[in-house]
Amino acid sequence: MEAWGAVIVAAGKGTRMGTIQSKQYLPLCGKPVLVHTLEKFEQIEEVAEVVLVVGEQDVGLCRSYVTDYKLTKVKAVVAGGAERQDSVYRGLQELDSRWVMIHDGVRPLVSREAVTRCCQAAYRHGAAVLAVPVKDTIKQVNDQGVITGTPDRQSLWSIQTPQAFQRAQIVDALERAAADGFLGTDDAMAVERIGVQVAVAHGEYTNIKITTPEDLPMAELWLSGQK
């Protein structure tokens, strides 16, 4: 397998978590959430180079993580942008690898096996994301709080990261999205809209994105089980 580059995005504000300290720096089993994610990528054989994207005010702190936690793959720590998409684009500028994956800094539970499945699916199909089938029934609800539809659950997947692409293709897609004023909530949306097929590779239900307060104790529980 070729060597991959990874962009870890961690420049968000964590508004939904509601804490003063941004969620990527909150302690999880004794270390910042983001450090767990970076340590995971140290163990992923496919990944040769990592770029970490953080808030401008946190660049110094995160550079010290590289030394303190002996993160050998992190080649650059750069400041992100106002939107996740901007942060991803900035990170991609620092990578040389032909194949790249983009991962949320707040998904510390991702497993090596799932990342490998994502890389393999990207090789086969050109681009791939980790995903799990939804378990609940999903409803569309209008702004009066009334159900307007029930999409067929068979075709619904909950999308995770990493998301894997050829670097040139995701860079092109993000530049076109910016030119068109298109803002996606994941990376795949930018390439889907220019006609590229994106495959799903089986993720894991435990690969949660730490988003709201109840996610942290769940992550603690699962992470202590992984060690």
Task: Point out which residues bind ligand CTP (CB under 6 A).
Answer: 9-16, 24, 53, 80-84, 87, 104-106, 209, 211
Given CA atoms 78, 87, 37, 15 in this order, what sign does their dihedral have? positive
Residue from 185, 197, 212, 224 in contact with ligand LQXTBERG (CB under 6 A): 185
Region near ligand LQXTBERG per CB under 6 A, out of 33-41, 69-77, 113-121, 156-164 = 156-164
**Alpha helix (H) ranges present in 75-209?**
84-92, 112-125, 167-180, 188-192
- With CB under 5 to 8 Å by kind, the binding choice for 206 among ligand CTP, ligand LQXTBERG, none is none
Would you count residue 186 as binding ligand LQXTBERG (CB under 6 A)?
yes
Q: What does DSSP say about strands 4-10 and 74-79: parallel, antiparallel, or unpaired? A: unpaired
Would you count residue 89 as binding ligand LQXTBERG (CB under 6 A)?
no
Residue from 85, 160, 206, 207 in contact with ligand LQXTBERG (CB under 6 A): 160
Would you count residue 46 as binding ligand LQXTBERG (CB under 6 A)?
no
User: For 215, what's the count of Cα atoms within 13 Å in the CB-facing half-sphere?
Assistant: 21
Would you count residue 84 as binding ligand LQXTBERG (CB under 6 A)?
yes
Least gap, CB of 72 to ligand CTP (angstroms): 22
Residue from 209, 215, 222, 223 in contact with ligand LQXTBERG (CB under 6 A): 209
**Alpha helix (H) ranges present in 27-148?**
33-42, 59-68, 84-92, 112-125
Q: Are 5 and 49 in contact (CB under 8 A)?
A: yes
DSSP H or E run through 221: helix 215-226
Residue from 104, 191, 196, 208 in contact with ligand LQXTBERG (CB under 6 A): 104
| Closer CB to ligand LQXTBERG, 62 or 200, in the complex | 200
- Nearest-CB residue for ligand LQXTBERG: 186
How many Å apart are CA 182 and CA 125, to the nearest integer? 24
How many Å apart are CA 213 and CA 215, to the nearest integer? 5
- With CB under 5 to 8 Å by kind, the binding choice for 83 among ligand LQXTBERG, ligand CTP, none is ligand CTP
Region near ligand LQXTBERG per CB under 6 A, out of 87-95, 144-152, 159-167, 195-203 = 159-167
Residue 42 has phi, psi (to 5 degrees) of: -60, -30
User: For 1, what's the count of Cα atoms within 13 Å in the CB-facing half-sphere?
Assistant: 20
